[in-house]
């Protein structure tokens, strides 16, 4: 298959810094859209993956799954996009398209879903490479349309941080009168607050960081609870219908389960791995409470969110960086020193 070489930023080993490299992109096939990437958000998953935190990374890795750009070229069978359109690509670039999940617009749960990076690229028989690059070529079925009225850097994080929190908010039917809590004020957390507030919920932030209280309220939270303060935690016992937990590392879920209402659900979206300490089932049984997980969102649901953001003027609060600062950005993200998402200006590449 014909390819072209493009500039990208990635790494060859878990302990190595990201640096400039060249990668191949396929020439557009009939259904493909080639996109000039303008902005790419920096997700904590990029860092986990580049450093092999989940033990499944194959190198080299070019991260990035919050991609916004314009259409540069289209295949002869492309129906929905034309050159110059403002488009986006999120965490998925393909799936089997015929399993029960695909038929229900739940491509993220397809056994054959292909991640934007670190997936299997059937065209080139290699790993897929993400958005820390000049261009990307994606089947039009996995390309999204971006509302023209929104800031182009600010919309990028909606493609992962946004949809990952939107999908559980919608699945658990959050709306007017719902009581929602968000654990952790980072990229996912700040989008969860904005989106739950826009859906009409009463929103509380659980944070380790008292200095984030004013920001949380400005983002739309009605209340802030410092999770390390037992008295504050007790004051919200039995309160929440839904909790979205975005913390990236192992932590005790039991204090949060105690704050769920009868029938309430704690949705883990951040941490991937065994719980430590274990869950105590007593409060779950006594209150018909659930602990659940959720993965990003499907293509139709991501488009629904982009349109919702367009209508409600919602974007992410971003710090735009040059690609050359990506390694520093990862270190700052580890210290929760970002308000509240880094987005790379790809012109710098
Ligand atoms: P982030 O911007 O780094 O935010 C994480 C937040 O968690 C921090 O701001 C911090 O908020 C809180 N936190 C609590 N304990 C922490 C600790 N020990 N170290 C660091 N932060 C801690 O990360 P993100 O991009 O929002 O991603 C969050 C997690 O979601 C990552 O693990 C990522 O891989 C995962 N993720 C999952 C999906 C999915 O589909 N399920 C999709 C995207 C990302 P406070 O200071 O307020 O406590
Ligand atoms: Zn992500
Ligand atoms: Zn499928």
User: What one-character-per-residue DSSP string does 297-346 give?
Assistant: --HHHHHHHHHHHHHHT----EEEEEGGGHHHHHHHHHTT-SSSEEEEEG
Q: Which atom of ligand 1 is nearest to the CA of 47?
A: 34
**17/144 same-domain check:** yes
Q: Please say whether the beta carbons of 149 and 310 come within 8 A.
A: yes
**45/61 same-domain check:** yes
Q: Which atom of ligand 1 is nearest to the CA of 189?
A: 26
Q: How many domains does the chain have?
A: 2
Span from the CA of 319 to the centroid of ligand 3 (angstroms):
36
pLDDT tens, per residue, the chain with 349 residues: 899 999 999 999 999 999 999 999 999 999 999 999 999 999 999 999 999 999 999 999 999 999 999 999 999 999 999 999 999 999 999 999 999 999 999 999 999 999 999 999 999 999 999 999 999 999 999 999 999 999 999 999 999 999 999 999 999 999 999 999 999 999 999 999 999 999 999 999 999 999 999 999 999 999 999 999 999 999 999 999 999 999 999 999 999 999 999 999 999 999 999 999 999 999 999 999 999 999 999 999 999 999 999 999 999 999 999 999 999 999 999 999 999 999 999 999 9
**29/93 same-domain check:** yes
Span from the CA of 41 to the centroid of ligand 2 (angstroms):
8
Dihedral pair phi/psi, residue 114, rounded to 5°: -115, 115
Q: Does some domain include residue 217?
A: yes
**135/172 same-domain check:** no
**155/182 same-domain check:** no
- Residue-number span of the structural domain to which 103 is assigned: 3-160+316-348
Please identify which residue in the block is written with the tokens 């999204």: 144
pTM: 0.98
Least distant ligand from the CA of 101: 3
**271/168 same-domain check:** yes
Please identify which residue in the block is written with the tokens 């409470």: 289
Q: Does some domain include residue 219?
A: yes
Domain end marker among 259, 278, 293: 293
> How big is the CA angle at 291 (ends 341 and 118), to the nearest 5 degrees?
45
CB under 6 Å to ligand 1: residues? 43-45, 48, 160-161, 164, 184-189, 207-209, 212, 246-249, 269-270, 294-296, 333, 336
**37/100 same-domain check:** yes
Q: Does some domain include residue 311?
A: no
Closest residue CA from atom 34 of ligand 1:
45
**39/118 same-domain check:** yes
Q: Does some domain include residue 174?
A: yes
* DSSP assigned state of 108: G
User: What one-character-per-residue DSSP string does 111-142 give?
Assistant: TT-EETTTSEETTTTEE---SSBSEEEEEGGG
Span from the CA of 124 to the centroid of ligand 2 (angstroms):
24
Q: Which atom of ligand 1 is nearest to the CA of 185?
A: 47
What's the CATH code of the domain at 248? Answer: 3.40.50.720
Q: CA-based diameter of the chain, in Å?
A: 63
């Amino acid at each position: 298959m014909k390819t072209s070489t493009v500039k990208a930023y990635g790494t060859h080993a878990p302990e190595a810094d990201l640096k400039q490299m060249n990668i191949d992109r396929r020439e557009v096939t009939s259904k493909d859209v080639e996109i000039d990437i303008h902005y790419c958000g920096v997700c904590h998953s990029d860092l986990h993956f580049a450093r092999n935190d989940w033990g499944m990374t194959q190198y080299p890795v070019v991260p990035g799954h919050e991609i916004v750009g314009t259409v540069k070229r289209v295949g002869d069978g492309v129906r929905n996009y034309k050159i110059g359109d403002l488009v986006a690509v999120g965490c998925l670039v393909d799936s089997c398209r015929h399993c029960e999940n695909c038929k229900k617009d739940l491509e993220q749960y397809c056994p054959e879903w292909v991640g934007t990076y670190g997936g299997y690229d059937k065209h080139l028989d290699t790993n897929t490479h993400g958005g820390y690059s000049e261009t990307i070529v994606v089947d039009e079925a996995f390309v999204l349309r971006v509302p023209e009225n929104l800031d182009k850097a600010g919309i990028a994080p909606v493609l992962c941080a946004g949809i990952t929190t939107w999908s559980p908010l919608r699945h658990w039917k959050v709306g007017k009168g719902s009581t929602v809590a968000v654990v952790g004020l980072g990229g996912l957390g700040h989008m969860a607050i904005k989106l739950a507030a826009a859906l009409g919920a009463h929103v509380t932030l659980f944070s380790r960081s008292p200095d984030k209280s004013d920001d949380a309220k400005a983002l739309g939270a009605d209340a802030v609870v410092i999770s390390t303060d037992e008295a504050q935690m007790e004051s919200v016992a039995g309160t929440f219908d839904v909790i979205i937990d975005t913390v990236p590392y192992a932590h005790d879920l039991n204090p949060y389960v105690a704050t769920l209402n009868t029938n309430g659900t704690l949705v883990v979206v951040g941490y991937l791995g065994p719980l430590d300490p274990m869950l105590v089932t007593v409060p779950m049984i006594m209150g018909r409470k659930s602990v659940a997980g959720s993965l990003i969102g499907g293509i139709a649901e991501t488009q629904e969110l982009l349109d919702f953001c367009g209508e409600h003027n919602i974007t992410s609060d971003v710090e735009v960086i040059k690609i050359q600062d990506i390694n520093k950005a990862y270190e700052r993200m580890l210290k929760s020193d970002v308000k509240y998402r880094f987005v790379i200006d790809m012109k710098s590449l």
